[in-house]
Amino acid sequence: MPIKVPAGLPALQHVIDEGVGIDILEKASPKTLHIALLNIMPMKETTEADFIRLLSSSDEEIELTLLKLDTHTPKHAKPEHMERYYTSFNSIRERRFDGLIITGAPIEKIEFEEVTYWPELCGILDWAKSNVTSTLFICWAAQAGVYRKFGIQKHLLPAKMFGIFPHTIAKPELPLFDGVEDIIYVPHSRHTALCREDIVAEERLDLLSESELSGVYIMQEKGTRDFFITGHSEYALYTLDGEYKRDVAKGLPIELPLNYYRDDNPANEPVNRWQATARKLFGNWLRHYCK
């Protein structure tokens, strides 16, 4: 269905150039879902393209607003890009949104209170309670969300969780999982994790999907439409490939991403195990939880 993004956004053209068929929404209508993306990933345009690719594949008409933090200046984004295409949180405080997506950030090893924009992020979470119908917390944001809401701490892993992991679904009857297979594959790329014991002990959380290898994946705050997602279902096909080859080139300790390359050979193409499921999950989120 049609999607409306900030005029001239390069990521939209990038996705179109990939061969993805996208209808452009010129003007919002009463049926348009208003979705905000708080993008705190370092490579802004890559993340923009990831979510445009997913959201535009749904059956819903969407207007996407890109949000930036007022207390943080990204190191890897051009100031003119942020100024032209992003909206500051302070300027949308009085608005309501059907959905909010908060991305991950490569700051897992930093204590939450030591993150420079932690106070502002906490303020956004408080604002979202009464101004957003449904919020998706992705990767680091999922860890930050369950810490802020429930006091559950993240834990450092002995090695990076890296690859494509199989997950089971605990509540397949939920609308979020309409049309989704019993076993789903999800990319993970992180150095920290949430302990399953902490999640199941918290009576305000439902554990919806997990993996024996990569741990908890999707959690929902009971009585709300808010979801905490520890993986990166939005990742493009070659994202993990880029991360792996970057770290190898830098001489950093990095294992081959699990279940990713055909025959586990980095000279081969990645195997696309997750994107069809990602489209279903995000489409179900928009259809069943953002209205």
- Per residue in 147-192, pLDDT (tens digit) is 999 999 999 999 999 999 999 999 999 999 999 999 999 999 999 9
Asked if pLDDT for residue 20 goes beyond 90, the answer is no
The mean predicted confidence, pLDDT, of the chain is 96
Catalytic residue among 48, 108, 210, 234: 234
- Kindly indicate the confidence band of residue 253, based on its pLDDT and cuts at 50, 70 and 90: confident
Q: What is the DSSP letter of 267?
A: T
Angstrom distance (rounded) from CA 245 to CA 28: 41
Number of H helices and number of E strands within the chain?
8, 11
What are 186-239's pLDDT values in tens digits?
A: 999 999 999 999 999 999 999 999 999 999 999 999 999 999 999 999 999 999
Q: Which residue has the tokens 């494509």?
A: 164
Angstrom distance (rounded) from CA 72 to CA 207: 32
Q: What is the mean pLDDT of residues 251-275?
A: 95
Q: Residue 104: CA atoms inside 13 Å, Cβ hemisphere, count? A: 24
Sign of CA dihedral 197, 170, 175, 36: positive
Per the CB < 8 A criterion, the answer to whether 186 and 179 are in contact is no
Catalytic residue among 34, 167, 188, 232: 232
Residue 166 in tokens: 């199989």
What are 46-78's pLDDT values in tens digits?
A: 999 999 999 999 999 999 999 999 999 998 899
Strand partners, 65: 36
CATH of the domain at 126: 3.40.50.880
The string of DSSP letters for 159-208 reads: EEEEEEEEEEES-TTSGGGTT--SEEEEEEEEEEE--HHHHHH-TTEEEE
Q: Can you give the residue range of the structural domain that contains 138?
A: 3-289
Distance linking the first and last C-alpha atoms of the chain: 16
DSSP H or E run through 29: none
Q: Is 234 labeled as catalytic in the residue annotation?
A: yes
Per the CB < 8 A criterion, the answer to whether 55 and 32 are in contact is no
Nearest CA to 51 out of 120, 109, 115, 100 is that of 100
Q: What is the mean pLDDT of residues 24-37?
A: 92
DSSP H or E run through 44: helix 44-55
Asked if pLDDT for residue 1 goes beyond 80, the answer is no
Per the CB < 8 A criterion, the answer to whether 9 and 44 are in contact is no
Please name the residues in contact with 258: beta carbons below 8 A apart, sequence gap of 6 or more: 162, 163, 164, 165, 213
Catalytic residue among 34, 61, 139, 202: 139
Total domains in the chain come to: 1
Q: What is the pLDDT at residue 76? A: 84
Q: Give SS3 for 16.
A: helix
